[in-house]
Structure formats: C-alpha cells, structure tokens
Structure 1
Amino acid sequence: MNPKRIVPAVATSAFGLLLLAALALPYWLGREAEKNYHAILDQLSRGNWLLFTGKNYQRGWFSSTAETIVHQPDIPFEIVARHRISHGPFPWDRILEGDWRLVPVQARISSEVFVAEAQTGKPLAFPPLTADTTFQLNGDGVVHVEMPPVKQTTARNQTIDWRGLSGDLTFDREWKKFLLDVRMPALSITAPEQQANMGLSGLRLHSDMHEGVAGYFFGEGALTVDQIDFGGGAGHVVLRGLEISSSARPAADNVNMALRYKLDDILSAQGHLGPGELVIEVRQLDAASLVKFKNAIDTLSRAKLPPPQAALILAGKGLTLLGELSKKNPELEITRLSFKTPDGEISGKGKFVLNGRQRDIAHNPMQLLSALSGRFEMSFPEPVLKRMLTPTIRRDIETFRQSGALSPGDLAQLDPQAMAGIVDRVFPQYLARNEFTRLLVKDKDVYKLEVSFRQGQLLINGQPWHMPARVALSP
C-alpha cells in the first residue's frame, strides 16, 4: 500500500469521525437536557408547595423548546415560563445568530417568565422576566434573571414606578448547593388624591445554602432595604437601614439558628427613633425532625383537604414535632434587644429551655408547661413611659373640656410646660391603671418587667401571675 495514500485516508477518516461526533453530541446532549428538565421539575414539585408541570417539550437536533407551568390550586393565577434550549457542547443555533461564546456547555436556556390567569392563561399586567441559564459540562449551573422597568397609572390614578429587578443563582449538579443574589433598585406607588404614597429603594436578597445532616439545608441569608417610606403630609414615615438576616449551622445532628432584625432609624413628624436591633438564637434543634416535618407539610399542602381537616392535621403534626424536638433540650435565647429613643433605650434579654427528655409532650401537651423554664427581662426608662402615656392623659383632658369640667381659662394655661407638669403629677396613677405598665417595677431610674416560667408556673416579677377576671353583668 502506498504510504502517500494512507495519510490522507487516515486524515479523512479522523475528520469524518470528528464531524460525526460534532453532529451526534448535540443530539445526545439534547436528550440529556430533556431528561434533566423533567427530573428538575419532579424534584421541585416534591420539595415545594407549588406544582411544576412541563408542557409542549419539542426536541430538535440543535435546540428544543418547552413550557413550564407553576401553579397552586388555591391561587387564582399561575406562572408560565417558555424556554428555548440550545444543545451543547457548542450551541450552534446561537453561534449562527452571532453569539460566539465557544466555552463547551451541556445546554444554554433562554426563558421568558410571566404571570397569567389560572383559568385562561392570559398574561396579567406585569412585565415579563427573562432568564438565561447555562448548564456546565459537569452538571453545575448558573441562572441570570432580568425584569425590565415599568411605569404605569392604574384606574385609581395611582402611579406605579418599578425600576426593574436582576438576580443570579448558581447551583451544583445534585441541587445541594445554592448561591442566590437578587437586586431591586426601587419601587414607588404614588396616589396624590389619596395622599397615600409608598416607596422602597435598595432592596437586596442574598442566600448561600447547602444540604447537610439529614437533608437539612444550612447556610445564611439576608434581606436588606436601604429605605422604605409611606404615608403623606404629617403622616409621612421613613424607615432606613432595614436588615433581616438568618443563619443555620450544624452541631452534630442538630441545627443551631440565629435570626437578626436591624433597623437604623425611623423618621416621622413626631421625631427620630432608632437604631434598633433584635437577635434571637435557637439551639439544639433535631435536623431529622425538622426535615420530616417539612416533608409532611409539603404532602399535606398537595392533598387538597378541606381547611378545617388540614388545620387539625397540621396541629397534630406540629405537636409531634414539638415533642420530638423537646428530647434534645432546645434553647431559645434573646441575646440582644435594643431600641433607642430620644428619651432613652429600651432593652431586653432572656433565655428559655424546653426539657422534654423525661416527658411525652406529643401525647400529653399539658406537660409542655412543666417542661419549659427560663426568664425574659425588659427595661424602660421613665421618660419613655411618660411619652407613651401622654396621649391617654391628653384624651382625658379633652374629655374634661367637653364635659365642662375645665373652663376656657384653664385650657388657656395648658402650654407645653404646664402639660409636662400635669403628666409628672398624674404619671403614677396612669402607670398603675394601664394594662401593660401596671406590671412594671421601678429599679432606680428604669422600670423593669420580668417574665419567667418555673415548674409549670408563669411568674411576673417573681410572683405567680393570674389572668384578671372580667365579668360583664347584664342589667
């Protein structure tokens, strides 16, 4: 055989094999994309109270199309997502359109998502959300979503100014690790005729979660908002620096959680309040029991039971969960409670423990009281309480005026200084009559309230508490 003919023949055969592989790979990856699509929908429906249904999957050689319906029977609308799926390793349909991203992938998916009426499928007046999803060769994925700005006026002459939304989600091939970031610049609703305005700016949502012990998802998340304002005129209120964050950490086969609520300040015509912060830590929660409860609730939500029956089953499962959790002696501690005002700082702290190791709370709920122990304490500066009771004192003075008990001359003398003097004089009486402040005990320059559970008893400031008896007698 002539060697000069062998080399071109081998080269031609290799080129043919490469060409065949290049043509076969998109078809094979298209089949894999379809299998993954249905597997993902099935997984989402199993672990969610929403139902994810795939429709109209049309698989081609280089690309496919599909439609996903997200709905819940008790909600009058549904979410519709229409997808164009470009098969890997090189999405030829996109390359022919000028998209020259040549990094090999399993698939790229362009989606349009909109809200529609459940019965007719007609889109509602919301801007559609677009999503671009990429599945890497190793099965990991990344999603980028965008919702365009919109400004419109409603039939009630309300102007809605929505500045759009964007977000990114990354996940691994087993759907056990998720990283989510969502950003919304601003939303405002103005109604000049009603003086009822509302605005929100600088919203960000972050979540970093991964599956751990017993299938429970650990990690952290936070929702932050730069500013929220509502109302109009003298009733205009501004909240700044709102943050709600949480974390879940593994501790052997348990979960330790922390919740944090933070607000920089509140601005209104009455003045400035803040900052404020509340931190709650919950420890020693059994991870397997929490996952079991979640799965039971998901199953219950899809059972379409009558509301009374569903509520009864939910109460029973909640009691069972409480009994299972109590075996690990879970703790709830308020490590920080602080809210600053111009008149001083309101503060608090406390810790409660549920010791159910020697009790069967699931079958005997009355044992819950004896299993719970702990105390919570709050402190209020005296000026804060005076400011809180001043409106009640003013209302009583107005009642005296209307009844004729105060003369016009008496009313003319009620300047701010005189009013402050009246509040100082009658403060002890109003303090003792108010349903809340009468429970407070003075300690130097602050008033304190201590609530504790001990041996099945509820104690207020160390004394057994009994609900006041109120009997209304008919004439």
Structure 2
Amino acid sequence: DLKKIASGLEIGNLILQVKHIDFTENNNTTNLNNLHLVTDVQEQGDMINFNLQANTDQIELSETIGSGLGNIVQTGNISLHNLDTASLLILQKKFHKLHDNPMAAFIMFGALMEVAPNLLAKSPEIKLNQLLIKTAKGNLQGDFRIGLDGSKAKRLLLPVLFNALTAEANLTISKKLLEQAMINHFQQTIDNKKSLEDAKVAAEEQIKTYLANKVLVKLADDYKLIVNFNNGKLLVNGQEISLSDLTN
C-alpha cells in the first residue's frame, strides 16, 4: 500500500501476520507463533515518522535458556521520529536504481553518509514503547528512547555525536523472572557452567550486587531500573555513574 507524497517520497503501511517462525543457534531452538506486525508511516511537515506495532502470541525458548519461563507473550511498539524527508527521498531514489547491483550495500552506505548531516539536524530518535513480556515467572515491561540533539550533532565525529546523544530507559522486572533468568544464564555460561544449586547461589549474589550498587531498586514484587543519559552524563536510578567505570 504505497502512495507518493508531495515531496516525491513513496510511503506506505503494512500489515503482516506470520503463523510460525523458528531459528536455531548452538543447538537452542526458539519458536515464535502468531507474530503480528503493523506499520504506520506518517508525514509531519518536512519529516517522516515511522511506527511498528509488534505482538507475538507465543514464544517458546529451549529448555536450556528458557527453563521455568513457560510460554512467553510479547507486545511492543517501535517508532522512529523526525526523519528528514528530503534525505529519505535521496536514499529511496538511489536504492531504486541499484536493483541487483552486487555493490548495493556499499553504495547505500556511502549515500547514507552523504545525507547523514541533514538527517542528524532534525534530531532523529527511536523509541521502544509499551514493551511487555509475560512469562510464567512474571513480567518485564518498560519504555526506551534514544536520540540525537540536532543542535549539537554538527559533525560526524564520535566525540561530537556522543555529546549530542540522549537516552532514557524505564524498566520493571518481576523478582521471580530476574532470578530465573539469572539462574538460566549461570547454568549456560560457556566457560563456567554451574549446577542448579550453584547457579541459584550465583544468581542471588549477583542480584545482591546490583541492589548494593543501586543498579536495581527493589519494589514490592519487582525490581526497577531507570536510566538517563544527557550531556555526556549517565544516571542510573538517580545516581551518576562514571563512564570510565563501565569500561574498566
């Protein structure tokens, strides 16, 4: 369902339903049943906003990585905001001319670099809204946003872009779900696999460390994580974290 807007850019919406998908990695198979995808593209002045609603009725993880979690249900919304229409039109025209060109990926990357300054000037952002993952051990839910301040992103240099970066995350996870996920992780760590009892102890100690360092905040039956990044400063649950500590 494509339509050409005044700028010449072709936009459209999509509704896709997939009955079943499965994929295997390291002998672990994941099954997705009844995947629903709905896209919505809207014009806003000289910018484009893109929205993707994704729901999965049933996610089945292999026993090794999904032990105790049962059948998982997922809903969420991903959106891209403030995309420069003129830049998208240039990329779209370039893409249409390439067809089966074996160098298409390299050519498109070069084209993207050419229009990047104009894209960044509009302060683009990506959001993950209303994320909800339901499991037998409780839920994970939250929102996430990452963007670039166009008034600061004047040059395609990492220090400049880093200073222009803004991000927010607000996540809540049930205590039982985090505990089970940590146990599964420690049982499957390639270089140091643990027995179930040892994995339980390791998971408990790791969560205690998170709480002591205020990476997690304890609520009634959940743990909370709030992250803010702005002007090169990282706040985790209101506490400033030195970026050098993350790289050491």
Query: Structures share a fold, TM > 0.5?
Result: yes
Q: Residue 455 of structure 1 corresponds to which residue in structure 2?
A: 231
Identity across aligned pairs (percent)? Answer: 22
Q: Distance in 1 between matches of 2:23 and 2:168?
A: 37
Deviation at 1:321, TM superposition (A): 2.8
For the structure 1 residues 221 and 429, does the alpha-carbon distance in structure 2 shift closer, same or farther, using more than 3 Å as the test?
Answer: same
Q: Distance in 1 between matches of 2:144 and 2:87?
A: 26
Could you tell me which runs of 5 or more consecutive residues in structure 2 were left unpaired when the two chains were aligned.
Answer: none
For the structure 1 residues 365 and 265, does the alpha-carbon distance in structure 2 shift closer, same or farther, using more than 3 Å as the test?
Answer: same
For the structure 1 residues 439 and 287, does the alpha-carbon distance in structure 2 shift closer, same or farther, using more than 3 Å as the test?
Answer: farther
For the structure 1 residues 344 and 360, does the alpha-carbon distance in structure 2 shift closer, same or farther, using more than 3 Å as the test?
Answer: same
Task: Give the one of 208, 222, 231 matched to 1:446.
Answer: 222
Deviation at 1:225, TM superposition (A): 1.4
Give the TM-score taking structure 1 as reference length: 0.42
For the structure 1 residues 262 and 439, does the alpha-carbon distance in structure 2 shift closer, same or farther, using more than 3 Å as the test?
Answer: farther
Instruction: Give the 5 Å matches for 1:209-358.
Output: 209-228=2-21, 238-267=31-60, 270=67, 272-298=70-96, 311=106, 314-357=108-151
For the structure 1 residues 396 and 325, does the alpha-carbon distance in structure 2 shift closer, same or farther, using more than 3 Å as the test?
Answer: same
For the structure 1 residues 302 and 338, does the alpha-carbon distance in structure 2 shift closer, same or farther, using more than 3 Å as the test?
Answer: same
Code of the aligned partner of 1:452: N
Q: Distance in 1 between matches of 2:30 and 2:127?
A: 31
For the structure 1 residues 248 and 301, does the alpha-carbon distance in structure 2 shift closer, same or farther, using more than 3 Å as the test?
Answer: same
Deviation at 1:262, TM superposition (A): 1.0
Q: Given that residues 319 and 365 in structure 1 are in contact (C-alpha distance below 8 angstroms), is that contact kept between their aligned partners in structure 2?
A: no
Compare relative contact order (CA 8 Å, sep 6+) and give the higher one, 1 or 2. Answer: 2
For the structure 1 residues 295 and 380, does the alpha-carbon distance in structure 2 shift closer, same or farther, using more than 3 Å as the test?
Answer: same
Secondary structure at the counterpart of residue 79 of structure 2: strand
Q: Given that residues 213 and 250 in structure 1 are in contact (C-alpha distance below 8 angstroms), is that contact kept between their aligned partners in structure 2?
A: no
Instruction: Give the 5 Å matches for 1:40-439.
Output: 208-228=1-21, 238-267=31-60, 270=67, 272-298=70-96, 311=106, 314-357=108-151, 359-362=153-156, 364-391=157-184, 392=186, 395-397=193-195, 423=200, 427-431=203-207
For the structure 1 residues 236 and 280, does the alpha-carbon distance in structure 2 shift closer, same or farther, using more than 3 Å as the test?
Answer: closer
Code of the aligned partner of 1:374: A
Q: Distance in 1 between matches of 2:127 and 2:30?
A: 31
Q: Distance in 1 between matches of 2:215 and 2:115?
A: 35
Deviation at 1:210, TM superposition (A): 0.7
Q: Distance in 2 between matches of 1:453 and 1:441?
A: 17
For the structure 1 residues 237 and 454, does the alpha-carbon distance in structure 2 shift closer, same or farther, using more than 3 Å as the test?
Answer: closer
Code of the aligned partner of 2:223: Y
Q: Distance in 2 between matches of 1:245 and 1:254?
A: 20
Q: Distance in 2 between matches of 1:281 and 1:230?
A: 26
Q: Superposition RMSD on alpha carbons, in Å?
A: 3.5
Q: Distance in 2 between matches of 1:304 and 1:281?
A: 30
Deviation at 1:370, TM superposition (A): 1.7
Deviation at 1:381, TM superposition (A): 1.3
Could you tell me which runs of 5 or more consecutive residues in structure 1 were left unpaired when the two chains were aligned.
Answer: 1-207, 399-418, 470-475
CA offset digits 1:198-254 (Å, max 9, x no partner): xxxxxxxxxx221113221223102211234678xxx77643221122111111221
Code of the aligned partner of 1:340: K
Q: Distance in 1 between matches of 2:38 and 2:159?
A: 34
Q: Distance in 1 between matches of 2:97 and 2:20?
A: 39
Code of the aligned partner of 1:241: N
Larger Rg: 1
Q: Distance in 2 between matches of 1:303 and 1:367?
A: 34
